[in-house]
Amino acid sequence: MTRPFADELLDRLVRTYSAAREPERAVQAAAYMRDQFPFLGFSTATQRALGRTVVAGLPAPTEDELGTVALACWDLPEREYQYFACDWLRKHSAVPGPDFLATAGTLITTKSWWDTVDALATRFVGGLVMRHPRLRTEMDAWAGDDNLWLVRTAILHQLHYGRETDTDRLFGYCTRQAAHRDFFVRKAIGWALRHYARTDPDAVRGYLSHHRDILSPLSLREAKKHL
């Protein structure tokens, strides 16, 4: 009997990553991330090279396999496994349908920090929403959620849309959360506006001019960096 795809991949992943552990670097990496997560300790370049070795010769995953592997990586303790999942989801971002947003939401709200949330928001959720426009209403809901990481994802999901950006939503989300008390939401507002300014600087200038009284100093400072 053929071994299930997810089991084969995860077995390869754990064996390959565990063998490359670098304890001294792991301590440093954990400290950099405020000791929220344990690390294996190898560099991003090494992690991605090892990841390519892990998937060599394996077929493309189905949507179910994509979700199974991603969730299993989130259950593993070391942070590099979550990084693998983020990279793998990005590589196969065209596979899942709109229902996969629920899985993405689980990943975003579990073991949450900027390193995985931003990768998922800008390189996976954004593409999912673009391919399945009905998910825009889900982004509207996330933009007002109590979970700050869902809010951050909603604000950032259009980061690479360029001229396809829905400015009503981008500016609307920023206005809706302008008074948010959390650093990561305020930073996201500034980042999203700064990035869109590459596409339409006049629109961002106009938005900042009309909303400077409600935006935080952090959001304003970030948004105006290249204007």
Q: Choose among 66, 55, 75, 57: nearest CA to 93.
A: 66
User: What number is the average pLDDT over the span 45-64?
Assistant: 95
Mean of per-residue pLDDT scores for the chain: 97
Question: Taking 70 as the threshold, does the pLDDT of residue 9 lie above it?
Answer: yes
User: How far is residue 20 CA from its own chain's centroid?
Assistant: 25
pLDDT grade, residue 224 (50/70/90)? very high
Q: What is the CATH number of domain 100-227?
A: 1.25.10.90
Q: Choose among 188, 45, 38, 21: nearest CA to 117.
A: 188
pLDDT grade, residue 141 (50/70/90)? very high
User: What number is the average pLDDT over the span 53-76?
Assistant: 96
For 189-223, write each residue's pLDDT tens digit. Answer: 999 999 999 999 999 999 999 999 999 999 999 99
Q: How far apart are CA 166 and CA 102, in angstroms?
A: 22
* Predicted local confidence at residue 69, as pLDDT: 97
pLDDT grade, residue 67 (50/70/90)? very high
pLDDT grade, residue 1 (50/70/90)? very low
**According to the CATH classification, is domain 1-96 in 1.10.132.20?**
no
* Predicted local confidence at residue 96, as pLDDT: 97
Question: Taking 90 as the threshold, does the pLDDT of residue 3 lie above it?
Answer: no
Enumerate the CATH 1.25.10.90 domain ranges in the chain, comma separated: 1-96, 100-227
Question: Taking 60 as the threshold, does the pLDDT of residue 111 lie above it?
Answer: yes
Question: Taking 60 as the threshold, does the pLDDT of residue 2 lie above it?
Answer: no
